[in-house]
Amino acid sequence: MLRPAGRGALILGALLLANAGCSGPGTESAGQPHTGLRFAVPEGQSDNYFIQQDGISAHLNLQSRPRPRLVVAFPAGNSGAALFFDAADEGPAWGAVTGLQTIERQDDAGRTLYGIEAVIDMQAESLRLQKADVGSVRFLREAVDYSTLPPRAPPAMQTDGNRILFTRERPDGESSYLLEVTLLAGELQTGEGTRFVADAGGRLRIRFVAASGDPLEVPVPAARLLANGAGDNERLEDALTFLVYETKMLAGSWRFLTYFGRDTLLSTRLLMPQLTPEAAEIGIASVLVRINEQGEVAHEEEIGELAVMRNLAERNQPTAEPVYDYAMVDDNLMLAPVLRDYVDAFGVDRAQQFLSGRGRSSATLKSRLARNFELVVRQARAFVDDPDRTNLVAIKDGINVGNWRDSQEGLVGGRYPYDVNAVLLPAALAAIAEIAGSGLLDGHANSLPGRDELLRMARAWEANAAGYFRVSIDAEQAREKLDAYARDNGYPPVEAPASGLSFHAVALDAGFKPIPVMHSDVGADLLFLQRPEPELANIVANLLRPFPAGLSTPVGILAANPAYAGPEQQALVTRNHYHGTVAWSWQQAMIVAGLDRQLRRDDLSAALRQELGDARRKIRDDITANREIINSELWSFALRGDEYVIAPFGQSEGHLTESNAVQLWSTVFLAL
C-alpha cells in the first residue's frame, strides 16, 4: 500500500528524457538519471497518490465523499480518466491501493499509450456508476465545476464479464485514451445502469488501467530545482518536483495540470530565494515564449484533446497546436517585477545570456519581453496624464474575471481590481525602469520612455490609484455591521475597532464605486511596493485583526471578508466560494515574504518594525499549526462552538468547486 513517504520512497532507475527529440520513456538526457518519485497526500475525504517513473507522471485521486470517484490525471496532454459514482452509504468507499506502477500499452491502432495501473479495495456493498470519461482533464472537471465546454459524446464502452473498458480517440487520430476496470472480487452488473457489487463475503476489489497517448512531458528532478537547504517539507519538495517540467511549470493537480502564466510568475518570484537559476529560467521562459503580438502574457493553455477540438471548431484544422487564453490583465503586469528580481538574484550577465535565447520561440526572449513592456506603458499612460478613476485599468469587456480572483464571483461584481491598479501597475513601471536602465534590453527599448520618465509614471500610479479604493467605516457603523454579520452567519462576536477603520476595496464596480470587501491582496503591497509608514501600519492591522473585524483566523489569513458590505455582496463571499471567506495557501506565503521585504527597509520607525516582526511571527505560527494543509490550493473552515476547524475545500455540501491536492504556488513555503 502506498503511503505518504517523500524521498524515502523514491523509485530508482527512471531516466530523464531529453528536452528535444525525445521519443518516449527510457531516453537518456546527457547521461543524467532521473530518479522516480512516489508520494501521497491525504486530504479529508480525498486520497491522492502521485507517481513519476520511466518518464510517465500521473496523479491518482480517490474521493469518498460527497460522491465516490476515481480520477487519474496525466501532465501529458492534460489528459486523464475518471469514474464518478452515485452517493454511497455511510463509510469510506476506497480502501488499500496496491501495485501502483507505470505501464505502456498499445491501442488497437498500434499507438503507444502511457499510463498507470493499480489494485484497489472498495469499501462498499454496491456502487452505481454515474459517469465515466477519458480524454482532456478539462472535460473531467466538468463533473465538478459548472459547465463551460461544448458537449461531446461519451467514450466508447465495452464489457466482458467482470471487465469494462472505456476508450476515446483524439479527433485528429494522433492519440487515444483508455480506462479499463476489472473486478477481481465482486460482480459487474450492467442491467439497469452499471453497478459494482460486492461478493458474498462483502469483498469488492478492482484492478484499473488508465492511459493516454499524448506526448510525455519531461520531468525535472529536485536536484536541478532547489538550492541547498531549501525548506524542510519533503511533501512540498515532492509536489514541486511533480509539477515542474523542462518546458513549463504546471499550476496544480489534478484539475490544472498545464501552464498558467500567473501561477508560474508568482511561484517563481516567491520561490526565487531557493530556486536554481535554471529553475527560475524554466518558469520565466515558459511565460516569454507564450507572449502574443500585443505583448500579453498567456493566462492558460489548452493542449491535447481540447486543443484539437478548439482548432477544428475555430480554424477547421485538426491539429494539437496549443490554444492560449489572454483574458487576464494581472499577469501582464507581473512579468517585469519578477524578471527584475531574477536579475537581482542571478546577475545581469546571466540574464543577458538567457534573454538572448529563443526557447521554443521564433523571436528572441528579449524581443518578446520588450513587447510586454510596451504594453504596460501603453496601459499606464492615460492615468499618468490624467489621474482620474476613469483612466484606471479594467478587466476585459464581456467577462467577469481578470485577476487572480478568477471565479465568477471573485471580484464581487467589480470591474477595476485593486491589485492591478494600486500595486501591480506601479510595480511593473518601476521594474521596467530598472531593467531598461541596466542595458539588458539593448536595442529593444527604443520605443520605451527613459528611466526617469518610467519612474515618474510609477510614482503617479502609486500616489494616486489606491485612494480611489479606500473605504472608511466609523466606529458606530463598524459595530452595527459586525454585530449583524456575526449574528446572521453564526460567528463568534468580536469587538469593533474603537476608532473605526479603513481598508482598500477589493475592486471598483462599473460605476467606479468601491466594493467594501476587505481582502488579502494587500499582501502584494508588502511584496512589491514600499508604502508610507501609516499605510503600511494600516495594512498590517487589518491583516491581523480577528475575523470578522479583519482577516485573521486560527486557520490562516482569509482571502476576503464581506462583513462591511451589503447582503447581496456578502452572499458572493462565503465559506463555499472559491475566493470567499477561505484561506489560500500562497496568499499566506506572499504576506510573509512581503513582511520580510518590508523589514529590510531602513526608513521605518522602531515601533513599526516591532509591529511587522510581531505580525510575521504570528502568521508563521498559524502556518506552522496548519502545515498539513499548506500543500493544498485553498481550504475553508467550520465552527465547533467558537473553535475554527479546517475544512478541505470541495468536500462539503455547498462548496462551489474544489481545491487541488498539490498546487504550484503552495510550494513556495520552501523558500520562507
Span 645-667, pLDDT tens digits: 999 887 777 766 788 899 999 99
Flag whether pLDDT at 394 surpasses 70.
yes
Flag whether pLDDT at 25 surpasses 70.
no
Grid cell in block for residue 354: 538567457
CA–CA dist 307, 619 (Å, integer): 42
Flag whether pLDDT at 8 surpasses 70.
no
Cβ neighbors of 481 (< 8 A, separation 6 or more) are: 473, 563, 564
Flag whether pLDDT at 194 surpasses 90.
yes
Flag whether pLDDT at 171 surpasses 70.
yes
E strand or H helix at 644: strand 643-648
φ/ψ of 433, rounded to 5, equals -60, -45
Question: Is the bond leading into 497 cis (omega within 30 degrees of zero)?
Answer: no
Task: State mean pLDDT over 569-588.
Answer: 96
SS (H, E, C) 564-632: CCCHHHHCCCCCCCCCCCCEEHHHHHHHHHHHHHHHCCCCCCHHHHHHHHHHHHHHHHHHHHCCCCCCC
pLDDT at residue 13, as a whole number: 26
pLDDT at residue 89, as a whole number: 62
CB 341 within 8 Å of CB 298: no
Closest CA to 133 of 212, 223, 64: 212
pLDDT at residue 449, as a whole number: 96
pLDDT in tens, 284-303: 999 999 999 999 999 999 99
Average pLDDT, the chain: 91
pLDDT in tens, 504-559: 999 999 999 999 999 999 999 999 999 999 999 999 999 999 999 999 999 999 99
What is the value of pTM for the model shown? 0.92
pLDDT at residue 239, as a whole number: 95
pLDDT in tens, 465-497: 999 999 999 999 999 999 999 999 999 889 999
E strand or H helix at 128: strand 126-136
CA–CA dist 622, 553 (Å, integer): 9
- In terms of pLDDT, which residue wins out, 147 or 601? 601
Closest CA to 27 of 162, 301, 215, 254: 215
Task: State mean pLDDT over 207-232.
Answer: 90
- In terms of pLDDT, which residue wins out, 338 or 147? 338
User: pLDDT band at residue 192, thresholds of 50, 70 and 90?
Assistant: confident
Closest CA to 136 of 173, 108, 174, 168: 168
CA–CA dist 279, 264 (Å, integer): 11
φ/ψ of 625, rounded to 5, equals -65, -30
φ/ψ of 252, rounded to 5, equals 175, 165
User: For the ranges 34-48, 428-442, 584-598, which has the lowest average pLDDT?
Assistant: 34-48
CB 428 within 8 Å of CB 374: no
Alpha-carbon distance values, 573 to 401, 489, 504, 559 (Å)? 15, 12, 16, 10
User: pLDDT band at residue 233, thresholds of 50, 70 and 90?
Assistant: confident
- In terms of pLDDT, which residue wins out, 12 or 253? 253
Task: State mean pLDDT over 128-148.
Answer: 87
pLDDT in tens, 595-634: 999 999 999 999 999 999 999 999 999 999 998 898 889 9
Flag whether pLDDT at 408 surpasses 90.
yes
CB 543 within 8 Å of CB 549: no
pLDDT in tens, 344-386: 999 999 999 999 987 766 788 999 999 999 999 999 999 999 9
Q: Give how far the C-alpha of residue 460 lies from the chain's centroid of Cα atoms, to the nearest Å.
A: 32
Domains of the chain: 6-212 (2.70.98), 250-464 (no CATH), 497-671 (no CATH)
pLDDT at residue 522, as a whole number: 98
Got the DSSP string for 94-126?
EEEEEEEEEEEEE-TTS-EEEEEEEEEEE--SE
Question: Is the bond leading into 66 cis (omega within 30 degrees of zero)?
Answer: yes
Rg (CA), the chain: 25
pLDDT at residue 229, as a whole number: 63
Cβ neighbors of 532 (< 8 A, separation 6 or more) are: none
End-to-end CA distance of the chain: 33
Grid cell in block for residue 55: 518518464
pLDDT at residue 445, as a whole number: 85
CB 556 within 8 Å of CB 626: yes
Cβ neighbors of 217 (< 8 A, separation 6 or more) are: 57, 75, 76, 245, 246, 247, 248
Flag whether pLDDT at 11 surpasses 60.
no
pLDDT at residue 628, as a whole number: 86
Flag whether pLDDT at 91 surpasses 70.
no
Side chain identity at residue 464, one-letter code: N
CB 306 within 8 Å of CB 79: no
Task: State mean pLDDT over 153-170.
Answer: 97
Size (the chain), residues: 672
pLDDT at residue 357, as a whole number: 87
User: pLDDT band at residue 147, thresholds of 50, 70 and 90?
Assistant: low
Grid cell in block for residue 513: 464605486
Q: List own/partner pairs for 165-171 with CB under 8 A and 24 or more apart.
A: 166/81, 166/132, 166/133, 166/134, 167/107, 167/134, 168/133, 168/134, 168/135, 168/305, 170/135, 170/213, 170/214, 170/304, 170/305, 170/308, 170/320, 171/305, 171/308, 171/309, 171/312, 171/318
CA–CA dist 631, 614 (Å, integer): 25
Grid cell in block for residue 503: 481598508
